[in-house]
Structure 1
């Protein structure tokens, strides 16, 4: 049984897996997304896109996720796609890639890659 410790909002397990932190992100993501859906369901698509980008595209410390089960990662990716659909009123069967392309929003994989690249760029600037 692995023990969990929270430090600066990040869940650290003694087995050094990041599944707990991914699930923490998943719960927070659902809470923020459902809040947007409940509160701003009458707003225009532009407002909903800005809210989604501001509140749902922030992945605090995702750059540190290196040791996790594929299932945890896929749950987070599916949640990102599904909540984007729900916020903007898309059908379940609509293509996720065309949905993101039409609204100029990064996919979950692109969002993580951009965050990792930003951290790498920041660290190289500090080191030089």
Structure 2
């Protein structure tokens, strides 16, 4: 599990991803799930959620939420004048990155 954590948790700059297709993200999730199953020598058809839970590792959605929350918190608390200017701009408030962040952090239950 240490191998999985050290190599599959390090998805650099994923908190800045804003332009991608849902299908692309789904393919990345499948790859992430398959890597864990291969390391555990589990069949490809077994439950990924169960494999993650039983081994105490985070799935891709949790990893991404963690990185987004961490970056967003640092941006919101920063006293740096450049970051403050960007944070107060409409590009930041209404831009695609902020929309993705809110979508990841505040998952809405529909139905």
TM-score bracket for the superposition, by shorter chain length: 0.5 to 0.7
Partner of residue 55, structure 1? 7
Aligned residues: 80
Q: Which has the higher contact order (CA 8 A, sep 6+)?
A: 2
Q: Point out the structure with the larger helix share.
A: 2
- TM-score using structure 2 length: 0.67
Partner of residue 106, structure 2? none
Cα distance between partner residues in 2 of 1:97 and 1:91: 14
Q: Which runs of 5+ in 2 are unaligned?
A: 81-111
Cα distance between partner residues in 1 of 2:11 and 2:79: 24
Partner of residue 118, structure 1? 70
Root mean square deviation of aligned Cα = 1.3
- Give CA-to-partner distance per residue, 1:72-114, whole Å, 9 cap, x none: 1111110000011001111112111111000111111111011
Q: Which runs of 5+ in 1 are unaligned?
A: 1-48
Partner of residue 72, structure 1? 24
Cα distance between partner residues in 2 of 1:55 and 1:84: 11
State whether structure 2 residue 44 is matched by structure 1 residue 92.
Answer: yes
- Give CA-to-partner distance per residue, 1:3-62, whole Å, 9 cap, x none: xxxxxxxxxxxxxxxxxxxxxxxxxxxxxxxxxxxxxxxxxxxxxx00110111111000
- TM-score using structure 1 length: 0.59
